[in-house]
Structure 1
Amino acid sequence: MSHVVRLFAGAAEAAGVAETSASATTEDALRSELALRFGEGFGPVLAKCSLMADGTLLEPGEAIPDGATVDVLPPFAGG
Structure 2
Amino acid sequence: MTAVRFFAAAQEAVGRDAMTTDAATLGELKAALLSAHPALHGLLPRCAVLVDGARVDDEFALAGTQTIDVLPPFAGG
Query: TM over 0.5: same fold?
Result: yes
Structure 1 residues without counterparts, runs of 5 or longer: none
Query: What percentage of aligned pairs have identical amino acids?
Result: 35
Structure 1 residue aligned with 2:50: 52
- Give runs of aligned pairs for residues 27-42 of structure 1, distance below 5 A: 27-38=26-37, 40-42=38-40
Structure 2 residues without counterparts, runs of 5 or longer: none
Structure 1 residue aligned with 2:9: 10
Structure 1 residue aligned with 2:59: 61
Equivalent AA in structure 2 for residue 51 of structure 1: V
Aligned residues: 77
Equivalent AA in structure 1 for residue 27 of structure 2: D
The alignment yields a C-alpha RMSD, in angstroms, of 1.5
Question: Could you list the per-position Cα deviations for residues 33-79 of structure 1 after superposition, in whole angstroms to 9, with x for gaps in the alignment?
Answer: 111222x2222211211211111112232222424210001112334
- Distance in 2 (CA, whole Å) between partners of 1:64 and 1:55 is 13
4+ residue runs over 6 A deviation: none
Structure 1 residue aligned with 2:71: 73
- Distance in 1 (CA, whole Å) between partners of 2:40 and 2:70 is 12
SS in 2 for 1:41: helix
1:22–1:33 Cα contact (<8 Å) kept: no
